[in-house]
């Protein structure tokens, strides 16, 4: 076999052809690729082919190797997996060009560089690597949607038992597998944080017109016998629901309180540090080009969909409280099933008030105290100086 033939075979196997171009890190946007170029850069290679500036540059081959390695983890040449019918317009699946995928993954905003990379990559057209399964992360997202519907309308207390009639679809999770799969996704995303002692949260108590409250036992979480169904906890389970601002607390309860109701609002401080699950901001999806971290991509893609669903607005204790059932179930799994032990609460972003964080802290009425009346069991302390009263 001649040299040219060997190079052609090698290019086919590795998925890219060698290039004479050099590139500097400034011409790239994608952090992993920028880092690789900086690591391989040498001043002896001359100016960057694309910006012309004299700065340390690396062979474009460095980018090509990482780009193809990343693309091949989720995509393939449609000739490998898709049916082709010229009378129906070609491949009978969704395809994307190399340039499109490079832009989609934020490789660079320099069109000349994108064109140069795309010219050296084989194939020129791509589709999902496995057409029999959902897109990355969406298998669990769709399974979560199915789980929500199942526990709302079909079975609420036996969902952990396998259903013999349920179809096992490729890339999906059976209903009884979903809670464990969600817990694993949260674990992979590393979302548990520590709230320090002294951290403050506001809480509002709704009363009758003209009625006011002024103690931790009254403004804090209700005793179990009065605890209503809420976003993260079922009827009878006492927990502290709060917000990061006073206005947020008022806004959260005003969406369901009757007009004219009295509101008593106060600020509680953590008496000791708490370990909580932070669902306020969707975790960033790891780079497709980061071999060490891209196995977390499905989990983080799913969590971006999951966070939307748990923040859906509805009225606690109202006729639509069945909406809360899936989040109540998954909250208990997340509370007790994470590998490093139980968490003390969950944080999420308010859908009722902009720029406000919400919390559910698994703190009972007995664990809340007025300032100056703390006990060894106290976890939240009400500052009486912050209490205000108003009408909805």
Identify whether residues 182 and 197 lie together within a single domain: no
- Whether 8 is in a domain gets the answer yes
- What percentage of the chain reaches a pLDDT higher than 90? 83
The SS3 assignment for 293 reads: coil
Domain co-membership, 215 together with 113: no
Q: What is the pLDDT of residue 13?
A: 76
User: % helix / strand / coil in the chain, to the nearest 5?
Assistant: 40, 20, 40
pLDDT interval class at 309 (50, 70, 90): confident
Average pLDDT over residues 366-370: 97
Instruction: State which of 103, 128, 153 marks the end of a domain.
Output: 128
Residues 178 and 284 in one domain: no
Q: How confident is the model at residue 354 (pLDDT cuts 50, 70, 90)?
A: confident
Average pLDDT in the chain: 92
pLDDT of the residue at 321: 73
Neighbours of 291 (CB within 10 A): 13
The reply to whether 235 falls in a domain is: yes
Same domain, 201 and 60: no
Domain total in the chain? 3
Expressed as residue numbers, the domain containing 314 is 193-391
Measured CA to CA, the distance from residue 315 to residue 231 in angstroms comes to 9
Closest among 296, 287, 283, 284 to 33, alpha carbons compared: 287
| Among 268, 205, 248, 202, residue whose Cα is nearest residue 351 | 248
- 58 within a domain of the structure (yes/no): yes
> Quick one: 239 and 219 in the same domain?
yes
Residues 210 and 146 in one domain: no
Structural domain contains residue 45:
yes
Same domain, 237 and 384: yes
Q: Of the ranges 11-20, 166-175, 316-325, which one carries the lowest mean pLDDT score? A: 316-325
Per-residue confidence (pLDDT) for residue 55, from 0 to 100: 79
| Residue 111 and residue 142 in one domain | no
Contacts of 43 (CB under 8 A, 6+ apart): 56
Instruction: Check whether 64 has a pLDDT greater than 80.
Output: yes
Long-range contacts of 220-223 (CB under 8 A, 24+ apart): 220/268, 220/363, 220/365, 220/368, 220/380, 220/382, 221/363, 221/364, 221/365, 221/368, 222/365, 223/364, 223/365
CA distance 304 to 186: 11
Contact (Cβ atoms closer than 8 angstroms) between residue 366 and residue 349? no
Same domain, 363 and 226: yes
Residues 214 and 183 in one domain: no
First CA to last CA distance, the chain? 84
Cα separation of 272 and 255, whole Å? 31
Domain assignment of residue 133, yes or no: no
Is residue 102 assigned to a domain?
Answer: yes
Kindly report, residue by residue over 197-233, the tens digit of the pLDDT. 999 999 999 999 989 999 999 999 999 999 999 899 9
User: What is the predicted pLDDT for the residue at 351?
Assistant: 83
Band the pLDDT of 26: cuts 50, 70, 90: very high
* Residue 244 and residue 324 share a domain: yes
Do 81 and 182 belong together in one domain?
A: no
Cis upstream peptide for 146 (omega within 30°): no
CA of 86: how far to CAs of 5, 92, 126, 128, 229, in Å?
31, 10, 17, 20, 57
Question: What is the predicted pLDDT for the residue at 185?
Answer: 95
Please give the pLDDT value at position 383.
Answer: 96
Strand partners, 301: none
In this prediction, residue 313 carries a pLDDT of 67
pLDDT-derived band at 2 (thresholds 50, 70, 90) equals low
Q: What is the pTM of this model?
A: 0.87
What integer is the mean pLDDT of 74-82? Answer: 96
Q: Are 65 and 80 in contact (CB under 8 A)?
A: no
Using CA atoms, how far apart are residues 145 and 262, in angstroms rounded to an integer?
A: 38
Residue 317 lies in a domain: yes
What is the C-alpha to C-alpha distance for residues 258 and 271, in angstroms, rounded to an integer?
A: 33
**Residue 89 and residue 375: Cα distance in Å, rounded?**
74
pLDDT of residue 256: 82
| CB neighbour class for 374 (10 Å; exposed up to 12, middle 13-18, buried from 19) | middle
Count of CB atoms within 10 A of residue 68's CB?
Answer: 18
Assigned domain for 227 exists? yes
Q: By the 8 A CB rule, do 22 and 60 touch?
A: yes
The predicted pLDDT at position 369 comes to 97
Residue 5 has pLDDT above 80, yes or no: no
Which residues sit opposite 66 in a β-bridge? Answer: none
């Amino acid at each position: 076999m001649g040299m040219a033939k060997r190079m052609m075979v090698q290019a086919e196997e590795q998925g890219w052809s060698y290039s004479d171009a050099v590139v500097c890190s400034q011409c790239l946007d994608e952090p992993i690729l920028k880092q690789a170029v900086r690591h391989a850069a040498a001043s002896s290679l001359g100016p960057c082919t694309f910006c012309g500036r004299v700065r340390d540059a690396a062979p474009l081959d460095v980018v090509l190797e990482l780009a193809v390695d990343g693309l091949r983890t989720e995509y393939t040449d449609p000739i490998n997996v898709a049916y082709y019918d010229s009378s129906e317009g070609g491949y009978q699946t969704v395809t994307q060009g190399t340039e499109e995928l490079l832009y989609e993954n934020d490789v660079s905003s320099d069109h000349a560089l994108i064109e140069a990379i795309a010219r050296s990559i084989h194939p020129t057209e791509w589709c999902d690597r496995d057409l029999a399964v959902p897109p990355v992360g969406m298998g669990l997202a769709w399974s979560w949607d199915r789980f929500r519907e199942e526990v709302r309308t079909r079975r609420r207390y036996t969902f952990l038992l396998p259903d013999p009639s349920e179809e096992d679809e490729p890339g999906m999770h059976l209903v009884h597998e979903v809670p464990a799969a969600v817990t694993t996704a949260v674990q992979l995303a590393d979302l548990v944080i520590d709230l320090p002692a002294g951290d403050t949260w506001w809480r509002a108590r709704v009363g009758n017109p003209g009625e006011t409250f002024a103690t931790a036992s009254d403004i804090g979480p209700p005793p179990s016998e009065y605890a209503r169904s809420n976003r993260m906890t079922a009827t009878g389970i006492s927990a502290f629901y709060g917000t990061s601002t006073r206005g947020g607390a008022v806004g959260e309860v005003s969406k369901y309180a009757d007009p004219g109701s009295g509101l008593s609002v106060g600020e509680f401080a953590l008496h000791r540090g708490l370990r909580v699950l932070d669902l306020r901001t969707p975790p960033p999806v790891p780079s497709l080009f980061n071999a060490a971290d891209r196995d977390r991509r499905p989990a983080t893609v799913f969590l971006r969909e999951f966070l939307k669903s748990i923040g859906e607005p509805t009225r606690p204790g109202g006729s639509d409280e069945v909406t809360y059932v899936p989040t109540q179930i998954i909250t208990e799994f997340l509370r007790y099933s994470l590998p490093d032990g139980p968490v003390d609460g969950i944080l999420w972003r308010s859908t009722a008030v902009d720029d406000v964080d919400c919390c559910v802290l698994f703190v009972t009425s007995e664990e809340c105290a007025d300032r100056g009346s703390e006990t060894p069991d106290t976890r939240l302390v009400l500052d009486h100086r912050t209490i205000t009263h108003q009408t909805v």
